[in-house]
A and B are shown apart, each in its own frame.
Chain A
Amino acid sequence: MPTVFVNGQEITIGDKERLNGIQVAERAGVDIPRYCWHPGLSVVASCRMCLVEAGKKDSATGKITMQPKVVPACQTPATDGTVFVTNSPKVIEARAMVEEDLLLRHPVDCPICDKAGECSLQDYHFEHGREERRADIQPFTSRRRELGDTVTLFVDRCVMCTRCVRFTREVSGTSELMVINRGAHEEIDVFRDENGKLEFPLDNKLSGNVVDLCPVGALGDKDFLYQQRVWFMKSHDNVCAGCSTGCSIKVEENQDHVYRLKPRTNPHVNGYWMCDEGRYGFHHVHDANRVTEPRRLEKTGYVNVEWSVLPQELHAKLKKTSRLAVVLSPHLTVEEAYLLAKYAKSIDSSAVLALGPVPTQGTDEKFKSGFVIHAEKCPNRRGVESVVASLGGSLLNWGDFLGLAESEAFGAVWITGGYKTNWNDDAAVASLANSKLLIVQDCFASPLWDRADYQLPSATFAEREGSYVNYQDRLQSFKWAVRPPQGVKADGQLYWQLLGRTGLYNAAVVVEEIGREIPVFAPAIGGVPEPGVDLKVNQIA
C-alpha cells in the first residue's frame, strides 16, 4: 500500500488508486485551492493556484528530497513516498501572488455578480490573498456577451481556467466554446460571423453545467440571473424527476420558492452533471395554473372539501363501492405507490392496479462522457412496477386499463397524476364513462380532472418525500424541499391518513417497511445513504 505524506501526515492509499496532490490532501483534511482542476475534467494545470511543495521520501534511508520549485498539486501524482507540503511560507507566498495576478484585471463588481457568496475568487482572496489590492484599477462594469439561449458570459470576470471549454470538449462532446486571443487578451467565446452574430451558439443539452463549473462569476445562468442572492437560499438534496436517469440534484429555495436546481455529485448516477431539461424543468412548481383546492362534485357543481374531513369522507365512500381500480402514476414515489396500493388492496382485495401513462420523448441520448438523458420522461416507473408486482396484483398499462374500463364498470377509480403537462384527453374520459366514482389527484386541470367526482390537488417533485427507482434499479431517497402551496397536501400524507396512521407521513419509516415486506427493496432496510442503494445488489450471484 503506497504511503503519501501531506504536511507530515501519513496517508495510505489503495494500490490501484491514481490520485493527484489535491485529492490526497483532501483525505488528510487539507484543502488545496484550485480553479482549473475539476475531478470530472482533464488536467491542464494552468491556473497555478494549487502550487505546493513536493518531494520524495527514500524508503530505504528515510531521507526526504524536495523539488526546488513549487509544483501544481493537480498535476503531481501521489505515489509511494511522495511528500506534499501545503503550508510552507513558499506556498503561501505563491498563492498570494497568483491571487493578486488574477485580481489585477478583475472588475471586482461583486455587488452585482450572481456568483458572489459562492465564488472561489472571493473565498480564496480572503483565505490566501493579500490584505490590500495594490493595483490602482477602480471597480468597473464587466463586458457582457451572449453565448446562447441559456448562458451569458461576463468577459472581464473570467480567470481563464478553461473548465467550460474542456467541458464542451470532453463531456458534452460538442466543442462550442474556445479561447480566443493570446496572453493577457485571452477570452472565452463561441464562433461568430464578422458581425458578431452567433454561428455556433452554446446550445447543447448539458449547457447549464458550465455555469456550475465556473469558479467565478464569468458564466451566468440566464434563467437564474438576478433572481436571488445565493446566500439567502437553502439547499435541499433531491432527485430529478425529469427522466428515468434520476440525477442526484440539489433544490435551492428561499421561503418556499425554488430558484434553481443544481447537480449533486453521485458517481453511481450522474457524476457531476445534469441536463438542461432537468435543470430548468422546475417552473411548473410555481405555475399560477396549479390546482390548489380539494373539491367534490355535487349536483349544483363543485364544492370545497376540508382536508381535515377528506380522508374519512373518501374512506366511507370507497368502502361502499364494489370494484376498485387505482392508476399509479410513474411520478409517485415508491412509498406513495406502496401506501396507495396497500390501501386499495385493504378495501378491495381484487382491486385493479394500473400504471399511469409513461411519457416518452425521442430516444435515449448519450454524451461523450457517458452521461445519458433517457427518453422515458418520468422518474419512477420501475419503482411503481416493483411495488405492484409484489403486492400480488398484475399491473396494467394505461392503454390496457382504459380498455378494461370500457368493458367493465368500476365502482370507483382513483387516478394519480403529477405530470407537468396535460396528459390525458377526451378519449380517456369517454373510456371511463362507466365508472361510478372518479377520484383524480393531479397538479393541473385536464379533461379527466374536469370530469372527476373528487378533485384532489397533488404535490410536485420538490414537495414530495420518498424514493425513486431509476433506470438501473438504483433507489434514491429524498426529503421535501419546499412546502406545497396553500390548499395542497403531499400525496403521501393523504395515503398515510387513509391507512389510519396518525401523525405526519414519514417516508423513511415507510421505505423500511417496504424493505421488510418486499424482497426487491431489502437493500433499503436500515436507511438509504446519500448516493442511494442498488436494488440489484442481492440478485447478482
Chain B
Amino acid sequence: MKPDDSSITWIPEPQLGMTGKMFLPLFVQGLTTTFKHLKKSLGGGTVTTSYPDQEPAIAAPLIYRGVHRLNKDHEGRVKCVACFLCATACPAHCIDIIAAESPWPDREKYPESFAIDELRCIYCGMCEEACPVDAVELTSLYNLTGRSREEMIFDKEKLLSVFDATKDKEPMKSEAFGGTVT
C-alpha cells in the first residue's frame, strides 16, 4: 500500500496545550498511583505479590503473550498447514519448520517438524498474527524454565502438549475472536 492510497485517511497529530507540553496530566496520573499505593500500604494492605510462593493473577489470559502452543483441530491433528508465514513474520528467527505432504486425504501440506526456540523468542506475538489458520497461539504460561538450551527448543510434540494442558483454561482464541474454527 502506497502512502497516497485513497483508502488511507491521514490524521494530523493533535496539538498539545500548555499543560500537555509541561507533562502535567501524566505527572498527576503517575503520582496518583503512587499515593494510592502508599495509602493502601499505610493502612496495612500489601500491593506486591510474593512470587514464587504466590502466583500473580493474569487479568486477560487470552491476550497474554507467554509460551506458544500448536492448536489441534477437532480430529486431534495439528492445525498447522506449514505455510511458513509465522517463520517469515518472526523478527527473532526462532521458528524452524520442515514441511511435507500430509498423510491425510483432506489436507495437502503439514509440518513434519515444527520447532520454536523459546529462548530466542521475544514474545512479540507476530507469529500468532500471521497464522492464516490460527494454529500457533501464545498462552498465558509465563514461568518457563529448563536445564539446557536444547531443552528450551520446543518441538511439535511439546507444543501440542502445551495445547492439551491449556485448552480448557484458554479456549482457542479463534473461537473467542470470531476467527476460522475447523
Contacts and interface: CB of A to CB of B under 8 A. Distances in A.
A binds B: yes
A160 to B, nearest CB: 21
Interface stretch (A79-87, A225-233, A382-390, A445-453): A225-233
A231 B85 CA distance: 11
Interface in A72-127: 109, 111-112
B110 to A, nearest CB: 9
B122 to A, nearest CB: 20
Given A225-B101, A226-B99, A226-B100, A109 B7 contact: no
Interface stretch (B28-36, B65-73, B76-84): B76-84
A137 to B, nearest CB: 14
Interface string A202-243: 000000000000000000000001110101100000000000
Interface residues of A, number: 13
A142 interface: yes
Nearest to A138: B180
Contacts of B106: 141
A131 interface: yes
Nearest to A222: B101
Contacts of B101: 225-226
Given A112-B82, A226-B99, A229-B84, A142 B108 contact: yes
Chain B's interface: helix, strand, loop or mixed, by majority? loop
A28 B132 CA distance: 39
A131 B7 CA distance: 10
Contacts of B81: 111-112
Interface string B117-139: 00000000000000011000000
A225 to B, nearest CB: 7
Nearest to A154: B108
Interface string B70-114: 000000000001111100100000000001110000111100000
Contacts of B132: 111
Contacts of A225: 101
Interface in A119-173: 131, 141-142, 144
A111 B99 contact: no
A154 B107 CA distance: 13
**Central interface residue in B7, B82, B84, B106, by most chain A CB within 10 Å:** B84
**Central interface residue in A142, A144, A229, by most chain B CB within 10 Å:** A229
A229 B88 contact: yes
B7 A112 contact: no
Chain A's interface: helix, strand, loop or mixed, by majority? loop
**Central interface residue in B99, B100, B108, by most chain A CB within 10 Å:** B108
A283 to B, nearest CB: 17
Nearest to A111: B83
Nearest to A107: B108
A227 B99 CA distance: 7
B108 A109 contact: yes
A141 B109 CA distance: 10
B109 A226 contact: yes
Nearest to B131: A111
A111 B110 CA distance: 11
A111 B133 contact: yes
B28 to A, nearest CB: 45
Contact of A231 (B7, B82, B88, B109): B88
Contacts of B88: 229, 231-232
A476 B107 CA distance: 45
B84 A144 contact: no
A476 B85 CA distance: 38
B118 to A, nearest CB: 22
B107 A141 contact: yes
Contacts of A142: 108
Nearest to A231: B88
B136 to A, nearest CB: 13
Nearest to A109: B108
B85 A112 contact: no
Contact of A144 (B7, B82, B99, B108): B108
Contacts of A131: 7
Interface string B40-83: 00000000000000000000000000000000000000000111
A514 B88 CA distance: 45
Nearest to A152: B101
B129 to A, nearest CB: 14
Contacts of B84: 229, 232
A225 B85 CA distance: 17
A230 B108 CA distance: 18
B87 to A, nearest CB: 8
Interface in A225-276: 225-227, 229, 231-232
B139 to A, nearest CB: 23
Given A131-B7, A141-B107, A112 B83 contact: yes
B96 to A, nearest CB: 11
B107 to A, nearest CB: 7
Contacts of A141: 106-108
A111 B180 CA distance: 15
A232 B83 CA distance: 12
A296 to B, nearest CB: 37
A474 B88 CA distance: 41
Contacts of A144: 108
A133 to B, nearest CB: 15
**Central interface residue in A109, A226, A232, by most chain B CB within 10 Å:** A226
A141 B108 CA distance: 7
A227 B83 CA distance: 11
A223 to B, nearest CB: 13
A235 B133 CA distance: 30
Interface in A375-413: none
Contacts of A231: 88
A199 B81 CA distance: 33
A111 B108 contact: no
A3 to B, nearest CB: 33
A227 B84 CA distance: 11
Nearest to B81: A112
Interface of B: 7, 81-85, 88, 99-101, 106-109, 132-133
Given A111-B85, A112-B82, A232-B84, 5 more contacts: A111-B81, A131-B7, A141-B107, A144-B108, A226-B82
6 contacts: A111-B133, A112-B83, A131-B7, A141-B106, A226-B109, A229-B84
10 shortest interchain CB distances as A-B pairs: A111-B83, A226-B99, A112-B109, A229-B84, A111-B132, A112-B81, A112-B108, A226-B109, A141-B108, A111-B81
